[in-house]
Amino acid sequence: MSEKRQIIIIVLFVVICAISAVTLVYSKQESRKLYTELEKLRNERDELNVEWRQLLTEESTWATPALIERLASERLQLIHPSPKDIRVIQEQ
């Protein structure tokens, strides 16, 4: 093999190694960036789950029949009709 050919091969290997090193650094940086984003999204998911559980608890509290009846009587002054005031309409 000629000396010129050996130099070309060595230069080619150096260039390939440099490209490989730059690619490795880029992929590591991208991996770190994506991991940071993943952690941020996980934290956001956890916060949303906590809020969801709180909303479900609040919904179940507001939906209790006793609370609905109390609010209807206090705020809207609604009362249960007596049996004599109830009219049943028959379908014709």
pLDDT at 35: 98
pLDDT at 62: 80
How many other C-beta atoms are found inside a 10 Å radius of the C-beta of residue 12? 10
**What are the tens digits of pLDDT across the range 2-31?**
999 999 999 999 999 999 999 999 999 999
Q: Is it the case that residue 92 has pLDDT exceeding 80?
A: no
Cα separation of 44 and 61, whole Å? 26
**What are the tens digits of pLDDT across the range 38-74?**
999 999 999 999 999 999 999 888 888 888 888 888 8
Would you list the DSSP string of 16-84?
HHHHHHHHHHHHHHHHHHHHHHHHHHHHHHHHHHHHHHHHHHHHHHHT-HHHHHHHHHHHS---PPPGG
